[in-house]
Structure 1
Amino acid sequence: MTLLLIAFQCSYAQFKIPEKPSVETSVYDYGNMLDEAEHKFLEEKLINYADSTSTQIVIITVNNLAGDDISMVSTKFGQQWGVGQEGQDNGIVILLSDWDREVDISTGYGIEYILTDRLAERVINQEMIPEFKNGDFFQGLDNGTTAIIEVLAGSYKPKNTFDYKGLVKYIPIALVILFMVFLAYGSYKYGSGSGGSGSGRSYSSGGSYTSGGSFGGGGGFSCGFGGGGFGAGGGSGGW
């Protein structure tokens, strides 16, 4: 009986995706986290972007997630509402939960190879969460959407988070270790009387963020949601 009650409570608490809106636009502030001017600014910004590229970025805020995983809820919004254009799957959902203090970026199938999971998390951690920590949800969403647009255009440059100042204090230790290694190597080389050469493997990574293609016009929000498909692409974070 207890197990049945727990199962019932869990199913009852599950977040329910609202019905697809009759008016399909770019911002749905169910969580009342934006004032009227902020709502209008973001809405117009994303409508203009969608009308020029057909890529739909939709912001959704909610009060809470009823215990559900934010990435799953965000993907469900995109899939059930059909954000993006059919055949292009170029929709993006940004879901922000007030009570849970979490944000998620979910990408349609046609976007996830450009706005990769790693880049989505960088946008969240570097552009959005610092503002959310200060209670400025509008600025975080504005920064985040601008960064996403730059990623899709191939012009986004993530902030360098490497702590060079913190590295300085380790330089003396590193020099001592290198000196000891040098001495040990010299002792081995001349002590054994043999030498040799080896081959190593080097790795390099690129730091360029360019899009492999572009999405043309012909969609936008004037035609509503076109039925784009969503998978598990994107990233999430909390503060």
Structure 2
Amino acid sequence: MSTYISIIQMTFRTILLILILTLFSCKTAKVEAEFKEPKSEITISKFPKQIGLVNDFEKIFTEDQKVQLTKFLAYYKETSFREIAVITIDSIPENIEFDKYAIKLSDNWKVGKDNDGNGLTVVYSRTLRKVRISTTDKTKDLYLSDKFCQKVIDEKMIPEFKNGNYYDGILLGLNELIRKWI
């Protein structure tokens, strides 16, 4: 009989130990889940400082290409009251997706906000092999849908990027966007 009681006590202790361990592991998992933010909700505190309409942080354009692109975008802004910024970057924070970063960067720089909400940014990274056209809400709603912007990326820009023609890819994409944005 005492053996039977010993077995019951050992079984009870084992079950109690398993329950306690399970309870603590669930509590730890809950605490970890509370502190991990989803990628889309992470705020970015540091962006590169905007230096103009052309921001070639990845240094993929020649000086002449930067000058020509800047003149083109400045003329377009002056005559259309629409603002376009071109940004090249070689990296982004690890905790955010490229598209989200491009949108937050555009919002942070307030591209188009001074022009009645008419603005867009082209964010490109040769290193990351990513490109995103980010539009203001007004521009997206009235002129350039996400679907159209993706079509411009796929059909005009990427074929040039694959051949190492980064300036030509950006320029062809901009021309197509402007053609529709008139």
Moved over 3 A (4+): 14-17
> 1:63/1:15 Cα in 2 relative to 1: closer, same or farther (>3 Å)?
farther
Q: What is the alpha-carbon root mean square deviation over aligned residues? A: 2.7
Residue correspondence of structure 1 range 77-156 to structure 2 within 5 A? 77-86=105-114, 88-112=116-140, 113-153=142-182
Distance 1:26 1:103 in 2: 17
Q: How far apart are residue 20 of structure 1 and its match?
A: 4.3
The counterpart of 1:69, out of the listed 97, 103, 117, is 97
The alignment covers a number of residue pairs equal to 147
Corresponding residue number in structure 1 for 2:66:
39
Secondary structure of the corresponding residue to residue 132 of structure 1: helix
Give the secondary-structure state (helix, strand or coil) at the position aligned to 2:47: coil
AA at the equivalent of 1:125: D
1:167 corresponds in structure 2 to: none
Task: Flag the 1:134–1:57 CA change in 2: closer, same or farther, 3 A.
Answer: same
Q: Percent identity?
A: 26
Whether the aligned pair in 1 keeps the contact of 2:144 and 2:181 (CA below 8 Å) is yes
Alpha-carbon distance change, 130 to 87 in structure 1, aligned in 2, over 3 angstroms: closer
Bigger Rg, which one: 2
**What is the CA-CA distance between 1:17 and the residue it aligns to?**
4.0
Q: Residues 1-239 of structure 1: matches in 2 within 5 Å?
A: 17-18=46-47, 20-21=49-50, 23=51, 25-67=52-94, 68-86=96-114, 88-112=116-140, 113-153=142-182
| CA distance in 2: counterparts of 1:32 and 1:16, whole angstroms | 23
Separation in structure 2 between the aligned mates of residue 20 and residue 58 of structure 1, nearest angstrom? 13
Give the gaps of 5 or more residues in structure 1: 154-239
What SS class does the counterpart of residue 138 from structure 2 fall into? Answer: coil
So what's the TM-score if we normalise by structure 2?
Answer: 0.71
Q: Deviation of residue 91 (structure 1)?
A: 1.1
CA distances 1:109-150 after superposition (whole Å, capped 9, x unpaired)? 110031011110110001000000111111100101111100
Q: What TM-score, normalized by structure 1, do the two folds share?
A: 0.55
Distance 2:93 2:49 in 1: 20
Contact kept, 8 Å, 2:81 with 2:115, in 1: the verdict is: no
